[in-house]
């Protein structure tokens, strides 16, 4: 007779209810123990004020609600008076759930570690390049690790089936041929995955970088192993293959620094007093909170037959701010010139000659074949 709890026979209602009662009691006891354990751990983490401990408790609390009761059931099952077939199938099912819950627990540990590293390198969204670099690397590394954990868990679950385990040994024998075949068939997909890893290592782009891609201005919102999402300024999302950033040129406005220079071009008449406009530009910038007080200037950068071109130069902490600053400066400079020097707005000059004779003297009319310039005789009037 098998060792076990003194329960009624399994094939009676009393036996079924007894087994159910034992299992229910085991589950409730394990859940209560898990709740008490994490309550104590959360209090200890708050007292020690260790960010890693706090994040780990928060992340592990949910998967442990499945894993701890499951372990209790696996320990209680051998003590039950179950038939061999029922016990084997039940233990197999519990093993599958245990592997899945263990993969969930490993994923929670990975995510808790990621959250802890991100708290150490907090990103203020502007000039914290180390934080953005760490965030980019962690995003891709976490995805790779999670995929590996899921793949290993799925393989372990499949290997618990005897038939699949036998089939797996046969597949491993021909893994070389299958690998070469799959490599040729999916070479582009594999190249894309390696491109994603290369992006994570070399980092031509980072999370929150300001880029100009395909003529569109926006921020790097998401980087995966296969594609990159660029959040365009008008809230559209541009999805670009990750290989694009390794094969084609693009503009990264925050590669080394988010600080950026902006320009405003104005056309004016030659009579405009440039020095007074320059002083007005400095007053506008000094009164604007968008200017970072680094760079400013006003220069005449061009002149043609009708007007001169002024270039106002200014600096700001990032691209969105410099865009708003440029618009503000352009509006206020135009208003200043319009109100104080309206005669200096761009104009087209023309010159009227005093009389018709002067016009003819300047542009003589061509003679006809007889050489006469008189009207009605082949000449021009």
Report pLDDT for 372.
Answer: 39
55: helix, strand or coil: helix
Burial of 57 (0-12, 13-18, 19+ CB in 10 A): buried
What pLDDT, on a 0 to 100 scale, did the predictor assign at position 336? 94
Sketch out the chain's domains with CATH numbers.
1-120 (no CATH), 140-257 (2.30.30.60), 260-344 (3.30.70.100)
CB atoms within 10 A of CB 203: 16
Q: Give 213-257 pLDDT, tens digit per residue.
A: 988 888 888 888 788 999 998 889 999 988 888 888 988 887 777
Tokens 């499949």, residue located: 158
Q: What is the DSSP string of 185-212?
A: HTHHHHHHHHHHHHHHHH-SS-TT-EEE
Q: Average pLDDT, stretch 66-75?
A: 79
The residues facing 239 across adjacent strands are 229
Look up tokens 């390794």; give the residue: 246
- Distance of alpha carbon 186 from alpha carbon 165, whole angstroms: 26
Report the pLDDT value the prediction gives residue 364, as an integer from 0 to 100.
Answer: 44
Give CB contacts under 8 A, 24+ apart, made by 335-338.
Answer: 336/277, 336/280, 337/266, 337/268, 337/272, 337/277
Summarize the chain as % helix, strand, coil (round to 5).
60, 15, 30
State pTM to two decimals: 0.52
Q: How far apart are CA 9 and CA 272, in angstroms?
A: 107
Across the range 52-62, mean pLDDT stands at 83
Q: Please tell me the distance from the alpha carbon of residue 312 to that of residue 280, in angstroms, as a whole number.
A: 11
> Which of 67-71, 285-289, 302-306, 372-376 tops mean pLDDT?
285-289
pLDDT in the model for residue 367? 42
In terms of Cα–Cα distance, which of 220, 258, 257 is closest to 242? 220
Structure tokens at 377: 């005789």
271-316, pLDDT tens digit by residue? 999 999 999 999 999 999 999 999 999 999 998 878 899 999 999 9
Nearest to 253 by CA among 312, 321, 331: 321
Residues 97 and 103: their CA atoms lie apart, in Å, by 10
In this predicted model, what pLDDT tens digit does every residue of 7-52 receive, in sequence order?
Answer: 445 555 555 566 666 677 777 887 888 788 877 887 887 888 787 8
Neighbours of 192 (CB within 10 A): 17
**What values do phi and psi take at 227, rounded to 5?**
-150, 165
* CA dist., res. 196 & res. 289, Å (int): 39
Residue 171 pLDDT exceeds 60: no
């Amino acid at each position: 007779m098998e060792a076990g709890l003194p329960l009624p026979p399994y094939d009676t209602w009393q036996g079924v209810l007894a087994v159910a009662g034992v299992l229910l009691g085991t589950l409730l006891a394990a859940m209560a123990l898990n709740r008490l354990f994490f309550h104590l751990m959360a209090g200890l983490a708050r007292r020690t004020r260790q960010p890693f401990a706090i994040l780990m408790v928060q992340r592990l609390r949910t998967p442990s609600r499945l894993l701890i009761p499951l372990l209790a059931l696996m320990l209680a099952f051998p003590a039950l008076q179950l038939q061999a077939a029922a016990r084997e199938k039940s233990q197999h099912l519990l093993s599958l759930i245990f592997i899945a819950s263990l993969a969930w627990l490993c994923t929670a540990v990975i995510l808790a570690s990621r959250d802890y590293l991100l708290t150490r390198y907090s990103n203020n969204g502007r000039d914290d390049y180390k934080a953005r670099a760490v965030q980019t690397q962690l995003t891709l590394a976490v995805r790779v690790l999670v995929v590996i954990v899921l793949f290993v868990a799925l393989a372990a679950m499949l290997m618990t089936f005897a038939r699949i385990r036998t089939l797996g040994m046969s597949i491993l024998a021909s893994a070389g041929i299958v690998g070469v075949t799959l490599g040729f068939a999916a070479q582009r997909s594999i190249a894309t995955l390696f491109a994603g890893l290369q992006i994570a290592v070399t980092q031509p782009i980072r999370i929150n970088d300001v880029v100009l891609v395909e003529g569109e201005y926006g921020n790097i919102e998401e980087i995966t192993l296969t594609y990159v999402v660029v959040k365009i300024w008008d809230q559209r999302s541009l999805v670009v293959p990750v290989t694009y950033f390794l094969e084609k040129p693009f503009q990264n406005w925050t590669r080394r620094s988010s600080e950026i220079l902006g320009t405003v071009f104005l056309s004016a008449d030659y009579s405009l007093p440039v020095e007074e406009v320059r002083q007005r530009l400095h007053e506008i910038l000094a009164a604007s909170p968008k200017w970072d007080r680094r760079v400013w200037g006003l220069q005449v950068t061009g002149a043609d037959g009708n007007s001169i071109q002024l270039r106002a130069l200014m600096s700001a902490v990032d691209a969105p701010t410099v865009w708003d600053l440029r618009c503000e400066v352009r509006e206020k400079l135009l208003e200043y010139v319009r109100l104080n020097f309206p005669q200096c707005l761009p104009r087209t000059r023309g010159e009227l000659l005093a009389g018709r004779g002067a016009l003819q003297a300047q542009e003589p009319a061509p003679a006809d074949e007889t050489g006469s310039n008189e009207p009605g005789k082949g000449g021009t009037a």
